[in-house]
Amino acid sequence: NAGVTQTPKFQVLKTGQSMTLQCAQDMNHNSMYWYRQDPGMGLRLIYYSASEGTTDKGEVPNGYNVSRLNKREFSLRLESAAPSQTSVYFCASRYSPDQPQHFGDGTRLSIL
Amino acid sequence: AQSVTQLGSHVSVSEGALVLLRCNYSSSVPPYLFWYVQYPNQGLQLLLKYTSAATLVKGINGFEAEFKKSETSFHLTKPSAHMSDAAEYFCAVTLASGSARQLTFGSGTQLTVLP
């Protein structure tokens, strides 16, 4: 049982480049989430998808877009990367609000 | 709306000593509360959760937490620290009802265990 799988694990970009972070879960979870983690700030929600076919902004959505491709997959896109987007990005999923979220191992993204 | 405050960004204890990591929450409705642990270069793993059943919650690796409504607290404890407990710990809160039931995280507490 793989859980939540994120690709790639590491990426270095130049300012202005674009890229898509991939996330897939095999637990039949309804909701999926994208967070960024920065030192001393905990995890901040970028976007989430409460169910297949819906997406909503979180706390820090600017500069990002998402796609809930199907129930399993939820991707995060940076259209024009900026140094302020250097961070560790985590994808998570959960079955229902009273259940805990399950996390992937993260994507470490550096933007030069 | 909800928020979480973790008191102490860094906590050091000796091996075998009591671990106490503090978490206070603010919530407009009854909350669900979670503690997660993060080891270096890994994602977050669930330690334990409170979802309105017993107020004393036992989790993995010998950790437990007590929900105290009057103090709006959900502190994490472990009677005897082990070297393998060194990690970062996050408290998180979500609303038990309503439409906006996203998870809000505290800023984390880095636990160091001294030999």
Distance from CA of A99 to the nearest CA of B (A): 9
Distance from CA of A14 to the nearest CA of B (A): 23
Q: What is the pLDDT of residue B98?
A: 60
Q: Supply the mean pLDDT for chain B.
A: 91
Task: With beta carbons under 8 A apart, name residues in chain B contacting A92.
Answer: 44
Among the partner-chain residues B44, B51, B108, the one whose CB lies closest to the CB of A98 is B51
Q: What is the pLDDT of residue B97?
A: 65
Beta bridge partner(s), residue B113: B13
Whether B46 shows a pLDDT value over 70: the answer reads yes
Bond prior to A100 in cis (omega within 30° of 0)? no
Put simply, the answer to whether B43 touches A40 (Cβ < 8 Å) is no
Best mutation target among A10, A93, A101 (most B Cβ atoms within 10 Å) is A101
Task: With beta carbons under 8 A apart, name residues in chain A contacting B102.
Answer: 33, 45, 48, 58
Q: Which amino acid is at A25?
A: Q
Whether A82 shows a pLDDT value over 70: the answer reads yes
Task: With beta carbons under 8 A apart, name residues in chain B contacting A42.
Answer: 90, 105-108
CB of A23 within 8 A of CB of A4? yes
Q: Supply the mean pLDDT for chain A.
A: 93
Q: Apex CA A20: angle with CA A18 and CA A24, to 5°?
A: 175
Whether B100 shows a pLDDT value over 60: the answer reads no
B71: left (phi > 0), else alpha (psi -120 to 50), else beta? alpha
Whether B99 shows a pLDDT value over 60: the answer reads no
Put simply, the answer to whether B102 touches A90 (Cβ < 8 Å) is no
